[in-house]
Amino acid sequence: MNEVIHTLMPWLVLAAGILLTLLVSVIRVESKRPAQISALLTLVVTGVLSLQAISLPGEAIFAGSIEVSSLTRILLALFSLIGILFVLGGDRYLGKERIHLSDYYHLLLILILGAGIMVAAKDLVVLFIALEVMSLPAYTLAGFRRNDSRSNEAAIKYFVLGGAVGAVFLLGSAFIFGATGSTLFPSIHEWSRQSTTGGNPLFAAGHFLVMVAFLFKVAAAPFHFWKPDVYEGAPTPVTGIMSTLIAVASFVTLVRLVHLPALDASGWETYATAVKVTIRSLAVISLLVGSLVIITQKNLKRLFAYSSISQTGYLMLGLLASLHPGQGISPVLIYLFGYVFAAVGIFVLMTQSEPRGDTGVELVDLTGLVKRSPFRTALWSILLFSMAGMPFTVGFFTKYLVFLSSVGTGETPLVVLAALCAVVSAYAYLRPIGLMVMRDADPGAAQWGGGFWSQFVVVVSVIAVVFLGLMPNAMIHYLKGIPLIH
Amino acid sequence: MTAFEPWMLLVVSVLVFCVGLLGLILRKNLLVMLMSIELMLNAVNLCFVTFSKMHHLLDGHLTVLFVMTVAAAESAVGLGLVIAMFRNLRSVDSDQIQLLRD
């Protein structure tokens, strides 16, 4: 029992921190600081504890339903870091929007705990519970501007879709349970090695249902229609959390679910081809939708919703490559890490524009920013360069690695398409820079102003983007050592 | 007493799931949509229990308890969101929520 407690320490600290945060927010209702400080402390301790244990060997606990490994530890540390950055960076926005409530912080912690368990789950039912623990606070946070009907709408849309996704995932789990007699990942893997029937229809149906559920979660086109609306309506820091934390947790889980059966086992060739064709076509559709529709967007949150759809497309390339024998998952992880740093900076920058009614930040708000705030323009430009995949930023290397792994597995036509899409969508990322530098300020443009902590977070993420862009080897070496799922 | 064959129960559970899914897509009242989600989860519960019986395992029976707990939590959050929307819009009609568009 002691070993279990020791292994799970970061998760337990996080869970205790949720209770502590709830407690202090009930004791001191009139002030938000105690809850904020308690949340920050919890996240710092969680992050440090999981980083400290990172090189320990993986351990399966609770009858194998949860596996704590280097991968789950580093992801929990990443989630804590994202949490810290958004607690610091979202502070001013919440005050401006008059939604600075203590509840925000403990909901955020519950969300992080759910994501942390989800990436460690090795059992379909535990995975379902973790998914709901992550999603329920996310629905609430999306509707946090509760007097604004746009935020209500975003929350309702997210909730209805999330509820349906949860049910579809569960039906898939039930089918897999029916076919294999177990919900544990290792047992299902073992079953697929032994069964030579390959296309067992019950298992195939179940596996496709659980994959579709997570394809909705990561918003791979054509399952993406909810994303722009939810992004636009939710409070900006919450949109940032969805776009980084929830996206990373969901994509990592999708990768595990795709790798659920041993696709290279004999008798599974037809099924493996079907899975590959599905992923390949969804990657193509996501890339096309993401990079073509993004050009027409005027609202920045919608723009980055389509951006994240095309990121899903690039990630699917890495996922497809990982299905080939001998290929690891490291390009996907490296891409996710690189994307997170740029996205955190961008969403925190977005919270710095003064609100104009209830519409989010529009492109017009950026006009003439270089004269009004040259430093902020520089920060915007570096982060947008990274999103567009320009050299000397982390976005370039992460895309390059994904493309490289994809070419290595004979997917050259797909890579050519992806590269073309990157060129097309670069227009959408570079146009805001053009508006900031070349144009005079539009009379309707919003004022910009960030507090110290908000600016601090942006500077930190810009430094991370540039540092990892110039010296990617540190991150690559580290993440390459992390073994694949099983 | 008539004995139910497992496949009959599976057909029922898939049918109930489809009713829930159709209800979610076709109905416009948010409360009915919440009920449809519950219906889908309960259909899956039936499915789990049936498979559990077929395999002579207890796992499925236990899963049902977890799913029911999660379903309760989910409907609590869902009702909260519907109330928040009703306060602003005075309606629980999903056609009323069309502010977010391209």
Q: What is the pLDDT of residues A396-412, one digit of tens each?
A: 989 998 999 899 888 89
Q: How many Å apart are CA B89 and CA B84, to the nearest integer?
A: 9
| Residue A306, pLDDT above cutoff 60 | yes
Most B-contacting residue of A170, A299, A359 (CB-CB within 10 A), to test interface: A170
**A355 token code pair:** 């609100």
CB contacts, 8 Å: B47 with chain A: 171, 174-175, 178
Domains held by chain B: number: 1
**Coil, strand or helix: which one is A147?**
coil
Mean pLDDT of chain B: 90
Q: Is residue B36 part of a domain?
A: yes
Mean pLDDT of chain A: 90
A71: closest CA among A7, A119, A109, A6? Answer: A119
What's the pTM value of the predicted model, to 2 decimals?
A: 0.95
| Residue A312, pLDDT above cutoff 60 | yes
Q: How many Å apart are CA A191 and CA A186, to the nearest integer?
A: 9
Q: How many Å apart are CA A278 and CA A257, to the nearest integer?
A: 14
- Residue A438 DSSP class: H
pLDDT > 70 fraction of chain A, expressed in percent and rounded: 97
The predicted structure's pLDDT at residue A359: 65
Q: Is residue B4 part of a domain?
A: no
Most A-contacting residue of B68, B97, B98, B101 (CB-CB within 10 A), to test interface: B97
CB contacts, 8 Å: A167 with chain B: 17, 20-21, 37, 40-41, 44
Of A277 and A54, which is predicted with more confidence?
A277
Most A-contacting residue of B81, B85, B89 (CB-CB within 10 A), to test interface: B81
Nearest CA in chain A to B66: A129
Integer distance in angstroms from the first to the last C-alpha of chain B? 58
Nearest-neighbour CA in chain A from B68: distance (Å): 11
A397: closest CA among A331, A344, A343, A345? Answer: A331
Nearest-neighbour CA in chain B from A226: distance (Å): 10
Q: Closest partner residue to B70 among A132, A155, A160, by Cβ?
A: A132
Farthest CA pair distance, chain A? 69
- Residue A365 DSSP class: G
The predicted structure's pLDDT at residue A108: 96
Q: What mean pLDDT do residues A30-44 have?
A: 92
Is residue A25 within 8 Å of residue A42, measured between CB atoms?
no
Q: Are B81 and A140 inside 8 Å of each other by CB?
A: yes
Give the CA angle between residues B47, B48, B51 to the nearest 5°. Answer: 85
Q: What mean pLDDT do residues B42-71 have?
A: 93
Helix, strand, coil share of chain A (percent; to 5) = 75, 5, 25
Residue identified by tokens 């309702």 is: A156
Nearest CA in chain B to A359: B100
Q: How many Å apart are CA B25 and CA B27, to the nearest integer?
A: 6
Is residue A272 within 8 Å of residue A192, measured between CB atoms?
no
Q: Is residue B87 part of a domain?
A: yes
The model's confidence at residue A98, banded by pLDDT at 50, 70 and 90, is confident
Angle between helices A300-322 and A330-350 (to 10 degrees): 170
The predicted structure's pLDDT at residue A486: 41
Q: Is residue B3 part of a domain?
A: no
The predicted structure's pLDDT at residue B45: 95
| Residue B37, pLDDT above cutoff 90 | yes
Q: Is residue B76 part of a domain?
A: yes
Q: How many Å apart are CA A358 and CA A148, to the nearest integer?
A: 7
The predicted structure's pLDDT at residue A16: 96
Q: How many Å apart are CA A246 and CA A303, to the nearest integer?
A: 18
Q: Is residue B2 part of a domain?
A: no
What pLDDT digit, counting tens, does each position of A314-371 carry? 999 999 998 887 777 888 999 999 999 999 999 999 998 877 655 678 888 888 888 8
The full set of domain ranges for chain A reads: 2-480
Nearest CA in chain B to A132: B70
Nearest-neighbour CA in chain A from B86: distance (Å): 9
Alpha helices in A294-393 (DSSP H): 300-322, 330-350, 369-372, 374-388
Q: Are A128 and B30 inside 8 Å of each other by CB?
A: no
Q: How many Å apart are CA A343 and CA A308, to the nearest integer?
A: 9
CB contacts, 8 Å: B80 with chain A: 140
Q: Where are the beta strands (DSSP E) in A218-320?
A: none
The predicted structure's pLDDT at residue B1: 46
Q: Is residue B102 part of a domain?
A: no
Residue identified by tokens 């024998």 is: A325
* Residue B23 CB neighbours (<10 A): 17
Q: What mean pLDDT do residues A231-246 have?
A: 94
Domain with B60 in it: 9-96
pLDDT > 90 fraction of chain A, expressed in percent and rounded: 63
Q: How many Å apart are CA A238 and CA A347, to the nearest integer?
A: 9
Q: How many Å apart are CA A51 and CA A62, to the nearest integer?
A: 22
| Residue B2, pLDDT above cutoff 80 | no
B43: domain CATH number?
1.10.287.3510
Q: What mean pLDDT do residues A249-263 have?
A: 92
| Residue B102, pLDDT above cutoff 70 | no
The predicted structure's pLDDT at residue A179: 92
The predicted structure's pLDDT at residue B70: 95
Q: Are A125 and B63 inside 8 Å of each other by CB?
A: yes
